[in-house]
């Protein structure tokens, strides 16, 4: 095994230490056995081997290659000596075979491993030659020989099984790591485009059987090129990773995030209809607005949503979402465009939208009521009604700005800029023939009506309320 990473290095050290410590225990027991059977030499050679094995265990964490070389060399020489002392019927020649296999698990260079195996073969030949020429140096009883054979057979089979289990575990773990690398974007750790194609095909097969909804959200960082040009690609990479972290923090574990390329991502939402996907996109959009990168500052993204329609192809499904993303980018950015989000529940007036000013509150309520009246309009009525809603919003913004100037609101000019931005985006979308009327209505409803009252208007409410109290006195 090659030590190619810290993870592999530690795994190799742990596994090799199991072998070395096992040898320490076995050598200690054999030393006692050799003393009991009365061999005058083997207890002392075992003691030397025991000391060397202890040294191997000590240096292994720091020098695993040296440790394995010392261990295999000394064990091989001791094995040859045991064969010449006790013969092949004792089973000590099994250790030579086992050591030859163990060489292949070291982190030695390939040619050293081959040379090591060849050396083990030569040592076996040498041991047999010495045994054939000189005969046994110490004669065992049949019972002793059989006992050694049984014990050595068990030890070596256990060693081989341990090595095979280690190798199989190593293969399984590396296969898993390679698979994870093959489906993951290395920068952001979102899934990659290839895995998106695989999972989309799987999901479409699944929903055909279970008739469950499936939606995707394509989103793209706005003006990302300017981030790279102004702050450099390392900062751009940080922004991409931060975007992925934010997106993952707002979705379920079953939702899958993919990096399609550059700054474009796709979020796959199983068992989620267009309305649910719209809610998810708004969560990500708000989270981005509230986030601030330490160098690049605040950034936004544009979103396109599509819910799978029965009978359409995988490509047409993705193209609809991508088309909506394109419309969002060219409609003013920081937009969510969907032609599948159905708002079935009428809006309910929220007390937090009350400013305390009669005219502003009356206009806010009128916007909510008129929006509710559009929810179930016929398709051909949707665009004219949306234009009328946009006109009501424009008139409300004019009145609101007059009131803010009257009370001396310090952020009045900023509030005016927000109004102009939202109205400009709405005007662009109303002019686009390739964006559905429903998508335009949902933008005006969510971004201009609801989000504006929740995010922007509430900022001036305390100042307006204090002004009204002072005026009443």
Q: What are phi and psi of 261, to 5 degrees?
A: 165, 140
- Do 42 and 147 share a domain, yes or no? yes
pLDDT value of position 58: 93
CB proximity list for 163: less than 8 A, separation 6 or greater: 101, 102, 105
pLDDT value of position 455: 65
**pLDDT confidence tier of residue 470, bands split at 50, 70 and 90:** confident
Of 251, 255, 326, the closest CA to residue 284 belongs to: 251
pLDDT, tens digit (0-9, with 9 covering 90-100), for 414-435: 888 888 888 888 888 788 766 7
Instruction: Tell whether the torsion through CA atoms of 403, 404, 405 and 407 is positive or negative.
Output: positive
Name the pTM for this structure.
Answer: 0.63
- Do 177 and 197 share a domain, yes or no? no
CB-CB contact of 218 with 320 (8 Å): no
For residue 237, give its domain range.
193-338
- Do 228 and 268 share a domain, yes or no? yes
Domain stops at, among 286, 308, 338: 338
- Do 387 and 311 share a domain, yes or no? no
**pLDDT confidence tier of residue 341, bands split at 50, 70 and 90:** low
* Neighbour order of strands in the sheet with 301-307: 256-261, 264-270, 214-221, 301-307, 336-338
**pLDDT confidence tier of residue 2, bands split at 50, 70 and 90:** very low
Q: Coil, strand or helix: which one is 110?
A: helix
- Do 269 and 407 share a domain, yes or no? no
In a domain, 1, yes or no: no
Domain stops at, among 182, 214, 240: 182
d(CA 280, CA 276): 6
- Do 206 and 173 share a domain, yes or no? no
- Do 40 and 168 share a domain, yes or no? yes
When pLDDT is averaged across residues 402-413 and rounded to a whole number, the result is 88
pLDDT value of position 344: 44
Does the pLDDT of residue 52 top 90, yes or no? yes
What CATH number corresponds to the domain at position 392?
1.20.120.50
pLDDT value of position 303: 93
Number of domains in the chain: 3
d(CA 185, CA 259): 7
- Do 166 and 251 share a domain, yes or no? no
In a domain, 421, yes or no: yes
pLDDT value of position 5: 56
- Do 321 and 382 share a domain, yes or no? no
What CATH number corresponds to the domain at position 300?
3.30.70.270
In a domain, 343, yes or no: no
Strand partners, 386: none
pLDDT, tens digit (0-9, with 9 covering 90-100), for 342-400: 544 566 777 777 888 889 889 888 888 888 888 777 878 888 888 888 899 889 989 98
Which tokens belong to 76?
A: 């091989």
- Average pLDDT across the chain, whole number: 86
Domain stops at, among 161, 182, 203: 182
d(CA 239, CA 235): 6
Residue in this structure with the two tokens 């990302």, named with its chain if needed: 224
Task: Give the DSSP H or E segment for 261.
Answer: strand 256-261
More confident residue, 295 or 451: 295
């Amino acid at each position: 095994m090659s030590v190619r990473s810290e993870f592999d290095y530690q795994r190799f050290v742990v596994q090799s230490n199991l072998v070395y410590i096992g040898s320490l225990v076995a050598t200690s027991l054999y030393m006692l056995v050799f003393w009991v059977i009365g061999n005058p030499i083997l207890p002392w050679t075992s003691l030397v081997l025991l000391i060397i094995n202890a040294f191997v265990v000590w240096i292994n964490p720091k020098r695993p290659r040296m440790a394995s070389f010392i261990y295999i060399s000394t064990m091989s020489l001791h094995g040859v000596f045991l064969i010449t002392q006790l013969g092949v019927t004792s089973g000590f020649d099994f250790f030579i075979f086992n050591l030859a296999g163990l060489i292949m698990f070291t982190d030695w260079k390939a040619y050293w491993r081959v040379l090591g195996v060849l050396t083990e073969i030569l040592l076996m030949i040498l041991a047999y030659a010495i045994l054939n020429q000189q005969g046994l140096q110490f004669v065992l009883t049949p019972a002793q020989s059989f006992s050694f054979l049984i014990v050595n057979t068990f030890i070596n089979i256990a060693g081989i099984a341990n090595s095979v289990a280690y190798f199989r575990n190593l293969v399984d773990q590396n296969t898993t790591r390679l698979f994870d690398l093959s489906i993951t974007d290395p920068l952001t750790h979102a899934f990659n485009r290839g895995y998106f194609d695989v999972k989309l095909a799987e999901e479409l097969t699944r929903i055909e059987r279970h008739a469950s909804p499936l939606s995707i959200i394509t989103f793209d960082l706005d003006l990302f090129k300017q981030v790279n040009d102004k702050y450099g690609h390392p900062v751009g990479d940080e922004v991409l990773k931060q975007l992925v972290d934010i997106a993952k923090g707002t979705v379920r574990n079953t939702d899958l995030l993919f990096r399609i390329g550059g700054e474009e991502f796709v979020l796959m939402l199983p068992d989620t209809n267009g309305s649910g996907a719209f809610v998810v996109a708004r969560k990500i959009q708000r989270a981005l607005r509230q986030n601030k990168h330490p160098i690049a500052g605040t950034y936004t993204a544009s979103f396109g949503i599509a819910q799978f329609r029965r009978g359409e192809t995988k490509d047409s499904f993705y193209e609809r979402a991508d088309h909506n993303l394109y419309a969002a980018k060219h409609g003013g950015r920081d937009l969510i465009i969907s032609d599948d989000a159905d708002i079935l529940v009428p809006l309910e007036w929220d007390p937090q939208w009350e400013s305390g000013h009669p005219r502003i509150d009356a206009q806010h309520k009128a916007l909510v009521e008129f929006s509710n009246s559009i929810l179930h309009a016929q398709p051909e009525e949707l665009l004219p009604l949306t234009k009328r809603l946009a006109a009501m919003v424009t008139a409300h913004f004019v009145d609101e700005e007059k009131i803010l100037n009257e009370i001396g609101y310090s952020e009045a000019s900023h509030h005016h800029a927000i109004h102009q931005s939202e109205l400009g985006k709405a005007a662009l979308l109303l002019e686009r023939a390739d964006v559905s009327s429903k998508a335009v209505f949902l933008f005006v409803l969510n971004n201009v009506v609801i989000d504006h009252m929740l995010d922007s208007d509430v900022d001036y409410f305390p100042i307006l309320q204090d002004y009204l109290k002072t005026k009443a006195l």
